[in-house]
Chains A and B, each alone.
Chain A
Amino acid sequence: MIKSIDPEVCIGCGACVRICPLDTLRAGEDKKAFIAYPDDCMTCFLCERACPSGAIDVDPLREVLPPTFPDVSVELGGGRA
């Protein structure tokens, strides 16, 4: 999931906003990008790669989904905490 966009480093070019497949990012009035819809990020890294100033950090860990095995503990490969 996308972790952060550093407003001090963002140059407001809009490349990340244009490329995001899930419309997760938007530009503010100052043209700088911000994470408008964090839940929608699919960890594709397109924004981080498109950013010319290195302002974006995407965490590679993916979203936790409802489990395939709700009754088996995580230690045994299931999803029960």
Chain B
Amino acid sequence: MKNTLKITRVETDLLILGGGSAGLWAAHRFAECMPGRRICIVDKGPRDWGGLMAMAGGDFEAVLPPDTVDDWLEDLVYYFDGLCDQPLMEAILSRSAERMRDYERFGCEFFRTPDGNLRSVPQRGLPHVRLYPARVKGRGGELMAKSLVARLKDAGVTRMGRIMLTDYLARDGRVIGAAGFHCVSGEAYIFHAGAVIAATGMGGWKTSYGKNTPTGEGLRMAFAAGAELQDLEFARVWNMPRLFAWEGQTHLFPLGARFVNRMGENFMSRYSPVLGPNTDPHFTTVGMALEIRAGRGPIIFDVSPLRDEDMVLLKPQTGWQKLNYEKLCGLGLDLFKNNTEWVPQMTVSHGGIRTEIDGSTAVAGLFAAGTARSLEPGVYAGGFALMTTAVTGHMVGETAAAWLRNADAAPAPDEAEAEALLERAFAPLGREGADRLTPKQVLTGIQTAVFPHDVSIVKNGPALERALAEIRRIREEDVPRMAAADPHYLLKLHEVVSVAFVSELFVRASLERKESRAGHFREDFPHPDPAGPAWLLVRHGADGRPVFARERVPLEKWRVPLTRCYQDNFAFVERKAAGNVQDRPS
């Protein structure tokens, strides 16, 4: 294999893995800080498509007057049930308005009322957290991506697509590049860089439209390089239409929409008399799952309470969302006229690379931004990711520039090691054998093990143990049997390797967290741990395998006390009074 590989070598000052929001912002800021230095963005999808932001509606969260950063921080400590890195969130929120202004300067417009004021939509029943909708519903995220790419072109940033990077290259404990292959030509690539930014997005299970590209290779590669991970027990469980995809439900619930069960009952008002249907999708999804389990499904989306004057915010007017909507109407699936069935579904992982506030990881030369680092514990307010990816991307661009100013030149890669990594990555290409499996077959096996509600949504110990045994079997027996007929399938194969890695950590972490908190609901441990909130970290054991460690949230050092938990609003099981809140200092 070694002798037949054609290797293209690329030298750059900064290598960015992932051309979505975080990667584009990192490149933009780095170019501002270090003009003239070489920047290379590599994406496994098409060049310049913008990653998941291209599929987003363009609604943006930002702290604008009269709200203050302190207001939002209080909301988030409550919303995250205490699992909030307060210094990090403060740093992010403090920069959110600047990034929104940048977007406006780039030509991206937000919705304004006739008197010229920005319109906002409060999120999840929180007092302050709100999003600012794009002016025209349908392709706001796509326009954001285009505006950033235009700036990168002007700055001379190299952008490359269809290249799957599978391994970091390291020398003396410093990441100095990455190796991978082109999924069309099959050409091998070795990138040599002064600094490397992982903007690879999250892990996930390839469930629908915008969720088919984040598969967790950024997490797997960072862990292999020595970085720590965290929050793997949190997955974004979501409510989605059974038959089609829909973007923008975060507007629908604050404006009156609701789910009803088979009897027409607005069941979320039973589970949460305070918040009712206008709450976080994680909790809505738990409610949906309990209704279906009790025989009260299917779950129907009821839009009858919506007001006509709000339809301009809700009905897609352009882009893929409009095309999707028109085609669905043609099939008798008009979301605003027909009863559509929605189902609870796990989608992507909230686990990520553990970093300092500025995006540095535990590994020299390796930085992380966006959803490749973990920022929220399984609950998610609309517009949060567009904001956090912009802010953390911008921040890490600055961090990498400052680091590179003082760093020695990156040593050259160890050629033998790089070629051995490439050889391993290419090994499944053309693999023979009657017992070989396709990536799709193995992916379906993983989905079948992880998707059941008692593993993904209303978790319990015995179901998680069964899922863990099956995922381990898949990783030991099925993953090595995967074969790729061509470089396209080789990319899919490496995605599935990462999906399996993230799946095992998801199930193990879910077993480790013996409590319910934020986006993690254990039916057998339905209350928060009275010891208070703690993060679950994934570190390298002596044999290099993942080991879990617990790190208490140092609430006593931080400004906002935990006086109440968002999950206390829900009565999915009979609850005792929460025992983990601190008394507010008098």
Contact = CB atoms under 8 A, between A and B. Distances in A.
Q: Does B associate with A?
A: yes
Interface of A: 18-23, 26, 36-37, 39-40, 42-46, 48-49, 58-63, 65-70, 72, 75-78
Chain B interface residue number, banded: 35 or more
B384 interface: no
Contact of B292 (A49, A59, A76): A76
A77 B298 contact: yes
A74 to B, nearest CB: 8
7 contacts: A44-B209, A60-B328, A67-B452, A68-B292, A69-B289, A72-B293, A76-B292
B491 A23 contact: yes
B153 interface: no
Contacts of B244: 43, 60-62
A37 B488 contact: yes
B213 A21 contact: yes
Given A49-B320, A68-B457, A62 B209 contact: yes
A44 B451 contact: no
**A interface: dominant SS:** loop
Contact of A77 (B55, B343, B456): B343
Contact of B447 (A19, A37, A65): A65
A42 B488 contact: no
Give me the 5 closest cross-chain CB pairs, A-B, nearest first: A77-B297, A77-B298, A42-B212, A45-B320, A66-B448
Contacts, number: 115
A69 B162 contact: no
Contacts of A36: 488
B162 to A, nearest CB: 7
Contact of B451 (A23, A63, A67): A67
A56 to B, nearest CB: 11
Given A60-B331, A76-B295, A77-B298, A23 B183 contact: yes
A77 B451 contact: no
Contacts of A67: 451-452
Interface in B325-339: 327-328, 331, 333
Given A21-B212, A62-B209, 20 more contacts: A21-B213, A26-B184, A42-B210, A42-B213, A43-B209, A45-B320, A45-B324, A65-B207, A66-B451, A68-B345, A68-B452, A68-B453, A68-B457, A69-B453, A75-B298, A76-B292, A76-B298, A77-B288, A77-B292, A77-B298
A26 to B, nearest CB: 8
Contacts of B212: 21-22, 40, 42
B560 to A, nearest CB: 35
B314 to A, nearest CB: 18
Nearest to B453: A68
B527 to A, nearest CB: 24
A31 to B, nearest CB: 15
